Structure 1
Amino acid sequence: AAVIGGVVLPEMGLVPSRVPLSILFNGGVLSVLMLAAPRLLVRMGGWHGLREHKDSPRRPVLIAGAGSAGQMILKEIMANPELGLRPVGFVDDDPTKQGLRIGNLPILGTLADAPDVIKQYRVAEVLIAMPRATGSAIRRVVQAALDAGAKTRTVPGLSEVLSGRVSVSTLRNVEIQDLLRREPIQTDLRQVAQLAHDHTVLVTGAGGSIGSELCRQISALGPAKVVMLGHGENPIFEILNELRKKHTGVDFVPVIADIRDIRRVREVFDTHRPFAVFHAAAHKHVPLMEGNVVEAVTNNVLGTKNIVDVSVDCGVQHFVFISTDKAVRPTNVMGASKRVAEHVVRRAALKHKTNFVA
């Protein structure tokens, strides 16, 4: 415009003289202001609305990941102040981003700094925007948030980031596959149902963390009876009440017994004649078993042998022994005891040609 007004128009005789430079300069500045002002006002208005919006409580949030997904999340928050979110900054492991500001938000440190950042800024929620991060990195962020009492949500996946569909509305709670960063293994429940449907199933260690979950899963497969055998009365009482409310058509039988007492074990098996047995009873605390070797051996090894021998005598069709990864090249008492118990089950399977597995 300055070239046209100052040179072209006078040369063409369309104006009587050259336009003064002050007019050209002022006109240029005004043109820039007119073009840039609306964009600046929108941007400033977005931040002002984000800070001053009072229709909903403003929760301080930390964005883990300053890449494309994190920036999309930030833009979404800025454009929607009614979400009631107040981003305090990013954490990112990229060394080239440290000390920078993205979208007027600072990079507050690396993922390792997340615990301190969460506490310093009193973060209420961590938004994980790292679709390519490893499972260990996700676990560190989730653990830091849990330790500080903050919630966590994550972007759904890399495809959403690439397609530009990432928004706060698509954020979801962190799931187990996010921590593993692999597809979860899908169990063929139809085959498992053959072990339980319309049959009597016995679960040892039914009050423990693994045994109680086995009872929950088995109860959903329509067994005729679930015998819940455990040594602690309170855990058995709790899982019994829980399952009786959910599965009214299943006969739940609580049994308080010690698997080291073979007479009591035989009495239980003779009474209920289970079709399938899930053996989860065990001492599994590694440090405690180092100082209680006798308990580890008598419970994990001799107790397993009792359950296996009685299962063979009572004609149990399927036996599943719940072992541990610590039984692989064991370096502690607990792992060694479970390794020996695996051999007990294997020996019975080979000797009696039964469906006994560990």
Structure 2
Amino acid sequence: MMKKLILLLRKFYCLLPVILYDIAAIPISWYGAYWLRYNLHPYPSILNSTHSVIALISLSVVQIGCYYYCKIYRGLWRFFSLNDVLRIVKATVSTVVLVIPFFYLTSLLNYVPRSVFPLYCMILATLLCSGRLICRLHWDKRSHDNKETDIKKVLIVGAGLAGEGLVRDLKRGSPYKLIGFVDDNISKTGLEVHGIRVLGTTRQIVEFVNRYSVDLIFIAIPSARSSTMRRIVTHCEASKVAFRTLPGISALAAGRVEVNALRPVNIEDLLGRDEVTLQWDKIAASVLGKRILVTGGGGSIGSELCRQVLALKPAGLTIVENSEFNLYKIEQELKEHFQEIPITSALVSVTDEIAINHVFEHFQPEIVFHAAAYKHVPMLQNQIRVAVYNNVLGTQTVAKASVNYGVEKFILISTDKAVNPTNIMGTTKRVAEIYCQNLNDKVETQFITVRFGNVLGSAGSVVPLFQKQLQAGGPLTVTHPDMQRYFMTIPEACQLILQAMVNGHGGEIFVLDMGEPVKISYLAEQMIRLAGKEPGKDILIEYTGLRPGEKLYEELFHESEQLASTEHEKLFKAKFRELEWNELTQTMRMINTACSEYQEGELLILLRSLVPEFQTSELIVV
């Protein structure tokens, strides 16, 4: 109790000068209003009356009460803002609204000219605001003077809402001197934002950096397309000064634009694509209250699917994963952030039929996302049986369990390497597609396939490899100068998987719009530049030649597959190839037998019978 009293007294002591200033402003404003009302007469005779003194005392009591009620002492003068102005206006107007009826009932209104009230409001609000504003300007100047030696000149790219918010935050005593804006909207050139001028367009970045000796460039365009970011970054790199960017719109949605949100530009900013508008209402309705199962839930795609699904409040989530470490890691993360939703983990391989059936029987999932697969192309070229056993028979095992235990929807996560495959991995994924799509017509469970290209930052992808090589000082190894790949971010890939789940009714192969393919050599060069190095000078790029099973170009659909649009502009449907069901099931039995007997030569023949477009000569058959 004593501590609270001491803290209260200390707070009151700190506020005492402020309170005394605000109280002194009341009679000054009241008499000032009379003075203006009577045409600047030095001392109007009406103020000599007792009624005038009573009116002032009454007004002061009410005004002090309104100060407290409207919380005008919550804001520090050093950070005086529009919110503080609104509180002051509210306090002054509230006082007048309250005292007028009181003056009327006590006949004091007969001695107060009506025009005094609005004049009083204006004068008092001006006095209170000006005192606080002067204090803020004083503190800003002191802060600026103290940091003058360490001050850095900043050029801001983007004179929109994000740029305006960034300027507002930078002016709060930060060690930066704002030189100006650049913006590609030429109608803004010459205009000002909070007193900071728009100098020109992004093409003039190098010119302005040299002219004004700029130290830093801040990119404040969170909605920028990747093509726009690539162009801006090219100009920033040419200027030879450091540059940072605000995160995307989704990342900023939870808070205001501020200096602390600035971060280095990463490769996702340059290769990521436009923000995707999803039918979140339909997606949420499809997941809400449902039991969800994700195989491969500890992998890059599987773990992100778990995060996004849990955000939509399912009845429960079951994670199937054969890596002990990955399962432990994702389970700990999810249970920390989604404590209200039951999360169960199963250390199970999708090839273990008994264990998979036990999991399905126990948890009764309603929607299954099958993300478990082996994906390393060169390694699987020499591991035919392992690839088939996991990617083909594992998919069959989970699909059968889904049918037997009444799963509503089964979503198979596939790859662009399944189109005209030149490697074992892509061929096994193509067989998994064929099996699921043909099974769809025989059962009530809806089997939906989603096919997309490379995801940025996934385990085993080129981005983590390049990052590791950069840390080691290079060189960055690229297989071929002309190699191209489709890229998207992991969150976006998972969002479109959820969208495909909603749009699919069974039997579809959904192809995600991956945008334009990107040369791996360009990716390597950009990652070197983003690390502040010069490609070919500081860090070398070494071309090693195509690895077994690799293609220069990937395709998202087969030439015989007819693409059709869907409700969503980023999703297309590819018509799958129908096979005679008995023939397909017979081939699957033969595949099972060949795996059991470790006949990799027979497996290769069976794969080619199901996927005749499979072309490769670089295989080691044991």
> Which TM-score band applies after superposition, normalised by the shorter structure?
0.5 to 0.7
Match of 2:229 among 113, 138, 147: 138
Percent identity between the two aligned chains: 33
Q: Aligned partners of 2:242, 2:425: CA distance in 1, in Å?
A: 33
* Structure 2 residue 298 is the aligned partner of structure 1 residue 207: yes
Q: CA offsets, 1:172-193, max 9 Å, x none? A: 7679788645342324243443
Match of 2:359 among 268, 277, 298: 268
Other structure's SS at 1:258 match? coil
Aligned runs of 1:307-322 on 2, under 5 Å?
307-322=398-413
Return 226-235 or 129-138, whichever deviates more: 129-138
Q: Aligned partners of 2:151, 2:411: CA distance in 1, in Å?
A: 48
Q: CA offsets, 1:36-86, max 9 Å, x none? A: xxxxxxxxxxxxx9xx95438857678697x999xx99xx79x96944237
Aligned runs of 1:338-353 on 2, under 5 Å?
338-353=429-444
**What residue identity is the alignment partner of 1:153?**
L
Other structure's SS at 1:338 match? helix
Q: Aligned partners of 2:180, 2:422: CA distance in 1, in Å?
A: 44
Other structure's SS at 2:414 match? coil
Q: Name the CA shift for 1:189/1:283 in 2 (closer, same or farther; >3 Å).
A: farther
Is the 8 Å Cα contact of residues 294 and 371 (structure 2) preserved in structure 1?
yes
Match of 2:245 among 145, 152, 164: 152
Is the 8 Å Cα contact of residues 282 and 299 (structure 1) preserved in structure 2?
yes
Q: Aligned partners of 1:332, 1:64: CA distance in 2, in Å?
A: 48
TM-superposed CA distance for 1:310, in Å, is 1.6
TM-superposed CA distance for 1:140, in Å, is 8.2
Query: 2:341: which partner in 1?
Result: 250
TM-superposed CA distance for 1:103, in Å, is 7.0
Other structure's SS at 1:342 match? helix
**What residue identity is the alignment partner of 1:321?**
L
Give the TM-score of the pair, scaled to structure 1: 0.59
Q: Name the CA shift for 1:88/1:276 in 2 (closer, same or farther; >3 Å).
A: same
Q: Aligned partners of 1:291, 1:184: CA distance in 2, in Å?
A: 39
**What residue identity is the alignment partner of 1:185?**
T
Q: Aligned partners of 1:141, 1:292: CA distance in 2, in Å?
A: 45
Is the 8 Å Cα contact of residues 135 and 179 (structure 1) preserved in structure 2?
yes
TM-superposed CA distance for 1:234, in Å, is 1.8
* Structure 2 residue 383 is the aligned partner of structure 1 residue 292: yes
Return 320-329 or 98-107, whichever deviates more: 98-107
Match of 2:425 among 317, 331, 334: 334
Size of the aligned set, in residue pairs, is: 275
Is the 8 Å Cα contact of residues 440 and 446 (structure 2) preserved in structure 1?
yes
Structure 2 gaps of 5+ residues are: 1-140, 183-200, 250-256, 450-622
Is the 8 Å Cα contact of residues 207 and 239 (structure 1) preserved in structure 2?
yes
Match of 2:374 among 283, 293, 296: 283
Q: Aligned partners of 1:155, 1:265: CA distance in 2, in Å?
A: 40
Other structure's SS at 1:302 match? helix
Q: Name the CA shift for 1:132/1:316 in 2 (closer, same or farther; >3 Å).
A: closer
Aligned runs of 1:92-103 on 2, under 5 Å?
100=207
Is the 8 Å Cα contact of residues 348 and 354 (structure 1) preserved in structure 2?
no
Is the 8 Å Cα contact of residues 89 and 106 (structure 1) preserved in structure 2?
no
Q: CA offsets, 1:321-354, max 9 Å, x none? A: 1222333443443333222212221111122243
Q: Aligned partners of 2:344, 2:351: CA distance in 1, in Å?
A: 20
Query: 2:319: which partner in 1?
Result: 228
Other structure's SS at 1:250 match? coil
Q: Name the CA shift for 1:224/1:134 in 2 (closer, same or farther; >3 Å).
A: closer
Query: 2:276: which partner in 1?
Result: 184
**What residue identity is the alignment partner of 1:333?**
I
* Structure 2 residue 191 is the aligned partner of structure 1 residue 84: no
Q: CA offsets, 1:297-330, max 9 Å, x none? A: 2212221111111211222111111222333443
Give the TM-score of the pair, scaled to structure 2: 0.36
Q: CA RMSD in A?
A: 4.8
Q: CA offsets, 1:151-199, max 9 Å, x none? A: 423899xxxxxxxxxx998x976797886453423242434433451x3
TM-superposed CA distance for 1:266, in Å, is 1.6
**What residue identity is the alignment partner of 2:211?**
N
**What residue identity is the alignment partner of 1:152?**
T
Q: Aligned partners of 2:231, 2:335: CA distance in 1, in Å?
A: 38
Is the 8 Å Cα contact of residues 287 and 309 (structure 2) preserved in structure 1?
no
Other structure's SS at 2:325 match? helix
TM-superposed CA distance for 1:229, in Å, is 0.7
Q: Aligned partners of 1:304, 1:328: CA distance in 2, in Å?
A: 18
Q: Aligned partners of 2:282, 2:222: CA distance in 1, in Å?
A: 33
Query: 2:94: which partner in 1?
Result: none
Q: Aligned partners of 1:319, 1:272: CA distance in 2, in Å?
A: 15
Other structure's SS at 2:345 match? strand
Return 257-266 or 282-291, whichever deviates more: 282-291
* Structure 2 residue 325 is the aligned partner of structure 1 residue 194: no
Q: Name the CA shift for 1:338/1:139 in 2 (closer, same or farther; >3 Å).
A: farther
Query: 1:325: which partner in 2?
Result: 416
Q: Aligned partners of 1:277, 1:155: CA distance in 2, in Å?
A: 30
TM-superposed CA distance for 1:133, in Å, is 7.6
Is the 8 Å Cα contact of residues 402 and 445 (structure 2) preserved in structure 1?
no
Query: 2:329: which partner in 1?
Result: 238
* Structure 2 residue 207 is the aligned partner of structure 1 residue 104: no
Other structure's SS at 1:248 match? coil
Q: Aligned partners of 1:194, 1:268: CA distance in 2, in Å?
A: 22
